[in-house]
């Protein structure tokens, strides 16, 4: 039971706000000593305890070296740099203005534009926080100005901003590829269908609610200064460059021309070219983007090293066998396991980040999924979709915090909470459809 107590202690420390990497490291050391004492049947000889403790962590240097050599994880800093550089190039602003001119004339058009921009940002930057903040600063005031419901406006922005969790190139999918030991390209390919269906469901909901309740999303007045052809040309100039970058990055992966790491490098070069095209490229922008990339990447790898130490102690205590025995003997095996694991991940997503869940919870569930015979690609996409939902769930959804930080004073927190509920419902419905109809999504 030492491993299970250790797991609960780590969760408690994360919930109260301790830094993630230090939480995993300190909990591992503390419970490693306890596990050594338990193994020695209460013998408190310092030499014996130290010997058992060091034996427990004897493989740690090799694990760290393996992490450093992991070519899959090399894509993480590259995609992060690409996303941050594009975000600093005012890509979101250009896309929102262009889409607004095209779709703003229909009911719900601004909200539809926001979803489409969120999709393009997800496929080009993949940075959830940056996408939500950018659309909150640019799109929210415009929607409120033209009489959009606060709930629909905020819910649309939060939901659209989190599409970067499921639409490639997603950092979540890269991390899950490493955990599942599956080709990242296969995960990217498998995520495209569910991601686009989710986008289609968002747009359908917005159009339906705009027709039923005509006041929640009125049409935008027509700009007489721009003809339809001028609006289209302006939109194409904003959309074609990032779309070309998306095709280069994802097309090279899906076509087998490049690995995800190689295509991420191509994406970085493309982001620099786009920044130059938009006249936003400067040494200061590159330096700030690189510095931010180093900070985020260091955080990810520090969490990974802490999680490695945590898993070594967890396995040493035998807790993995206890969990495996409990979950493999559930009634209904496969379906009960899937429902239970999805509920656990969703509940944990209320409180902790997707990186911790990916490196701590998923490795516990993965061996059981293998025993039961669950398709690893299918299971990985279910987890990715579930983790995306956790970004929206009140009261601790990260997207809600991002948007609240840039909201006008008249938008209350309760508006955000109520606004995301329909979109959470849509995500859960799509998640259930992937569970019930895996063949429709190409999982066999």
Q: Give the model confidence (pLDDT) of 269-307 as tens digits.
A: 888 988 888 888 888 888 988 898 888 888 878 878 888
Residue 98, domain member (yes or no):
yes
pLDDT of 205 = 93
Residue 205, domain member (yes or no):
yes
Whole-number mean pLDDT of the chain? 81
Residue 220, domain member (yes or no):
yes
Q: Residue 43: pLDDT band by 50, 70, 90 thresholds? A: low
pLDDT of 203 = 92
What is the residue range of 120's domain?
75-296
Residue 259, domain member (yes or no):
yes
pLDDT of 228 = 66
- Asked if residue 222 has pLDDT above 70, the reply is no
Distance between CA 308 and CA 434 in Å, rounded? Answer: 31
pLDDT of 125 = 66
Residue 442, domain member (yes or no):
no
Percent of the chain with pLDDT over 90: 8
Distance between CA 161 and CA 115 in Å, rounded? Answer: 8
pLDDT of 318 = 77
Q: Residue 225: pLDDT band by 50, 70, 90 thresholds? A: low
> Domain count of the chain?
1
Residue 265, domain member (yes or no):
yes
pLDDT of 102 = 72
Residue 189, domain member (yes or no):
yes
Residue 142, domain member (yes or no):
yes
203: its two tokens? 């747009």
Q: Residue 227: pLDDT band by 50, 70, 90 thresholds? A: low
- Cβ distance 382 to 366 under 8 Å? no
Q: Which of 68-77, 154-163, 379-388 has the lowest mean pLDDT?
A: 68-77
């Amino acid at each position: 039971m030492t491993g299970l107590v250790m797991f609960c202690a780590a969760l408690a420390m994360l919930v109260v706000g301790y830094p993630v990497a230090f939480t995993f490291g300190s909990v591992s050391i503390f419970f490693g000593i306890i596990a050594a004492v338990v193994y020695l049947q209460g013998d408190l000889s310092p030499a014996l305890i130290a010997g058992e403790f060091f034996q427990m962590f004897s493989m740690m240097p090799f694990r760290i070296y393996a992490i450093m050599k992991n070519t899959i994880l090399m894509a993480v800093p590259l995609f992060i740099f690409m996303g941050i550089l594009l975000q600093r190039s005012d890509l979101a602003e250009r896309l929102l203005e262009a889409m607004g001119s095209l779709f703003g004339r229909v009911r719900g058009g601004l909200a539809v534009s926001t979803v489409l921009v969120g999709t393009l940002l997800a496929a080009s930057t993949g940075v959830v926080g940056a996408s939500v903040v950018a659309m909150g600063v640019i799109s929210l005031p415009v929607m409120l100005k033209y009489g959009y419901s606060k709930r629909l406006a905020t819910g649309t922005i939060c939901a659209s901003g989190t599409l970067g969790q499921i639409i490639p190139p997603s950092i979540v999918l890269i991390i899950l590829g490493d955990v599942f030991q599956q080709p990242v390209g296969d995960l990217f390919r498998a995520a495209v269908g569910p991601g686009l269906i989710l986008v289609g469901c968002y747009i359908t909901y917005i159009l339906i609610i705009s027709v039923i309740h005509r006041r929640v999303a009125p049409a935008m007045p027509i700009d007489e200064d721009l003809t339809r052809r001028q609006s289209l040309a302006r939109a194409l100039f904003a959309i074609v460059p990032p779309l070309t970058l998306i095709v280069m990055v994802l097309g090279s992966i899906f076509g087998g021309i490049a690995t995800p790491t190689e295509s991420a490098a191509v994406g970085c070069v493309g982001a620099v070219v786009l920044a130059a095209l938009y006249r936003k490229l400067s040494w200061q922008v590159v330096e700030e983007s690189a510095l931010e990339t180093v900070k985020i990447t260091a955080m990810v790898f520090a969490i990974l090293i802490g999680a490695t130490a945590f898993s070594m102690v967890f396995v040493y205590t035998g807790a993995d066998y206890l969990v495996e025995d409990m979950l493999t003997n559930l009634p209904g095996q496969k379906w009960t396991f899937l429902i239970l694991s999805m509920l656990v991940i969703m509940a944990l997503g209320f409180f902790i980040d997707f990186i911790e869940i990916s490196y701590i919870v998923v490795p516990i569930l993965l061996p059981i999924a293998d025993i039961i015979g669950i398709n690893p690609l299918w299971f990985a996409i279910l987890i990715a979709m579930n983790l995306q939902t956790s970004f929206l769930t009140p009261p601790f959804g990260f997207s809600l915090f991002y948007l609240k930080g840039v909201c006008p004073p008249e938008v209350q927190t309760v508006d955000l909470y109520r606004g995301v509920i329909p979109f959470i419902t849509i995500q859960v419905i799509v998640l259930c459809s992937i569970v019930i109809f895996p063949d429709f999504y190409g999982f066999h």
